[in-house]
Amino acid sequence: MPAPIDHAFVRAAARAADGSADPSAEFIEPHRALARRVKTLVAAYRSPESALHGSERAVAAALTHLRALRCAQTASGLFAGGDNVQSPPDSAFTVNDVCDAHVLAAGAGPGLADVTAALAEIAGAATESLLAGGVHTPNHRWELSAALARLHRSFPDDRLLVRAEEWLAEGVDIDADGLYSERSAVYASIVTNPALLLLAEVLGRTDLADAVERNLTATLDLIRPDGTVETVHSRRQDQRLSFALWPYLPHYRLLAIRTGRDDFARAARLAAADGIHDPDLLAQTLLTPDLCRALPAPDAEQFPRDRYLPTARLAARASATAHTVVYGGSDVPAHRRIRSGLACNPTFLRLFAGAAVLDAVRLSRGFFDLGPFRAADMQRLADGRYLLTETLSAAYYQPLPPDHRRDDGAYRMTDEGRFSAAMAFPDRPRDEVSHTTRVQVDLREDGADLRIDISGPPVPWALELTFRPGGVPHGAVPLGDGTRCLTTEPLTYRVGDDEIRVEAAVETGEPLAGPDRSDVLRYDPGQDHTVAGGTDATTGNRVYLGGHGPHTVTVALRATTSGMKD
């Protein structure tokens, strides 16, 4: 017996659609936004729960947007606009919405006949280019394949299925822990998961739906107390951002209903905790009626809870008091560069204590301007302890051997990992200088203990603690630029009744730097950023502690929440 219809959910989805589908408004928007608006208008026209049900104004607005969308198509059938010129994957996003709108419009009868015809014309014009087109990111393969499958669903053509299967034959890029290769919450929730679910349905590929379930399972332990999903390990733009859980709502909801998983039901409820604001959900309920069914009863969140994802080198510990994330999975140590598509975020710890949030802990070192600490290795020790390690090296170069010298001095331009010059670096003897940083993290129910060991030649270093705005710091000395300095006195950061307390102590090395050493107490993003006048610095309430290494320093982070005090 199927679950009953969740009428409250459907009404909420209709309200969200109505809020964005004002048929009296005129929009000059990119092609993807135009296609999404048409889809929403058609869904509102179809849904008895919508204020635009059966509305001629909705039909007129859809046709206006479709004319603009058709004008945005080039002679190739691909869409103009955006940084990616004549982009098959960018056009696939639009065609996916066009094809969904076509399914909805074609089932609505004569009232949407003109809309159906216009959608078919746009889809037909794009078909050949999508069949032949290429991609440039991992998730594009699945978005493009989904567009091919949708085109086949409405306009059967075996070539479309052959091409989709050719992309899928590469294998879905999901690792043993359930993370896609881009490790991105944005692209998992908005691109890969919905694309694979569609392909599973059209192609009868249950393995693709299984991949989505694995990714959603992994994401359960990445949900943070503030209703966002952890992104520090991402290889895409969201590694610098906070990303809300709500885009995962349709996938958690659908698979909770289909599988009966109570943990997915809990995640679906969390994703909708602040209301339903996604205007696309109404169309999804019409295209996938299972979404309208009532959720199974959610499970109760279990504390304490520990999870380690070896492939991303990310650990999380959640308790009733604190939620702590430790991260050592940067791609920068291996690639020795900052690059789009690499995990570059130098944040190695976050701590949530109710409303008090330590958003980022970073460690900056003045070693050949090679940038902040990014662990090259992360070991899981016993009893909730982790060891993060990075060894940096730089070289001084000796004269070229006689057989490599040139009379004209015109040596080839080479990159030695730190900088480039016309010096034929690989041919020269090297004098290596190395520097090692080790950070041991002991995860506790009320926070974490850090033991920071900085060895090698004497260099300045600074630990940066960035607290989320909204709280009041006590105990650290103002530095005069909006930042503060922690020395021997504890620091507390309080938001209401929630608090994070920080205490530091020196085991070996000179005393910590005081406020008179502002040259040390700063964050240095490294030359990969500064050479172009850029930075990856955080914003917020920043507190520093540091000195001139070698050093071994301990830092205790303790959370106290209103729930504990009660």
> Over the stretch 497-525, which tens digit does the pLDDT of each residue have?
999 999 999 999 999 999 888 888 998 98
> Over the stretch 266-275, which tens digit does the pLDDT of each residue have?
999 999 999 9
Residue 25's pLDDT band (cuts 50, 70, 90):
low
* Whether the Cβ atoms of residue 330 and residue 348 lie closer than 8 Å to each other: no
Correct CATH for 305-393+433-565 of 3.40.50.1580, 2.60.40.1260, 1.10.10.60, 2.70.98.70: 2.70.98.70
Instruction: Please state, for a pLDDT cut of 70, what percent of the chain lies above it.
Output: 98
Enclosing H/E stretch for 119: helix 113-132
Lowest mean pLDDT among 23-32, 140-149, 312-321: 23-32
For 277, left (φ over 0), alpha (ψ -120 to 50), or beta? alpha
Beta bridge partners of 351: 324, 358
The CATH architecture that domain 7-291 belongs to is: Alpha/alpha barrel (1.50)
Residue 566's pLDDT band (cuts 50, 70, 90):
very low
Residue 384 has a pLDDT of 85
Looking at per-residue pLDDT, the higher value among 539 and 325 belongs to: 325
* Whether the Cβ atoms of residue 356 and residue 315 lie closer than 8 Å to each other: no
Phi, psi of 449 (to 5 degrees): -110, 130
Looking at per-residue pLDDT, the higher value among 81 and 311 belongs to: 311
Residue 397's pLDDT band (cuts 50, 70, 90):
very high
Sort strands 447-455 and 551-560 into parallel, antiparallel or unpaired: antiparallel
Residue 28's pLDDT band (cuts 50, 70, 90):
low
Instruction: Please state, for a pLDDT cut of 90, what percent of the chain lies above it.
Output: 85
- Choose among 203, 191, 202: nearest CA to 141: 191
Q: And the tokens for 106?
A: 């074609």
Residue 565's pLDDT band (cuts 50, 70, 90):
very low
Sort strands 541-548 and 484-485 into parallel, antiparallel or unpaired: parallel
Q: And the tokens for 17?
A: 């659609």
- Choose among 104, 87, 290, 297: nearest CA to 197: 290
Enclosing H/E stretch for 95: helix 88-106
> Over the stretch 150-179, which tens digit does the pLDDT of each residue have?
999 999 999 999 999 999 999 999 999 999
Which residues, other chains included, contact 111 with Cβ-Cβ below 8 Å and sequence gap of 6+?
45, 54, 59
The mean pLDDT of the chain is 94
> Over the stretch 206-223, which tens digit does the pLDDT of each residue have?
999 999 999 999 999 999
Residue 543 has a pLDDT of 96
Whether the pLDDT of residue 407 is over 80: the answer is yes
Which residues, other chains included, contact 302 with Cβ-Cβ below 8 Å and sequence gap of 6+?
none
Beta strands in 445-528, from DSSP E residues, in sequence order: 447-455, 460-467, 472-474, 477-478, 484-485, 491-495, 498-508
Phi, psi of 484 (to 5 degrees): -135, 165
Average pLDDT over residues 105-111: 93
Residue 249 has a pLDDT of 98
Average pLDDT over residues 286-310: 94
Report d(CA 534, CA 240) in Å as an integer.
Answer: 14
* Whether the Cβ atoms of residue 89 and residue 140 lie closer than 8 Å to each other: yes
The three-class DSSP label of residue 501 is strand
**What is the pTM for the complete model shown?**
0.94
> Over the stretch 531-544, which tens digit does the pLDDT of each residue have?
888 898 898 899 99
Phi, psi of 309 (to 5 degrees): -105, 95
Q: Where are the domains of the chain?
A: 7-291, 305-393+433-565
Residue carrying structure tokens 């299967």: 165
Average pLDDT over residues 265-294: 97
Residue 435's pLDDT band (cuts 50, 70, 90):
very high
Residue 487 has a pLDDT of 85
Report d(CA 258, CA 2) in Å as an integer.
Answer: 10
- How many other C-beta atoms are found inside a 10 Å radius of the C-beta of residue 34? 26
What b/e string do you get for 206-235 counting C-beta neighbours within 10 Å, with b at 16 or more? eebbebbbbbbbbbbbbbbeeebbbbbbbb
Average pLDDT over residues 3-20: 94
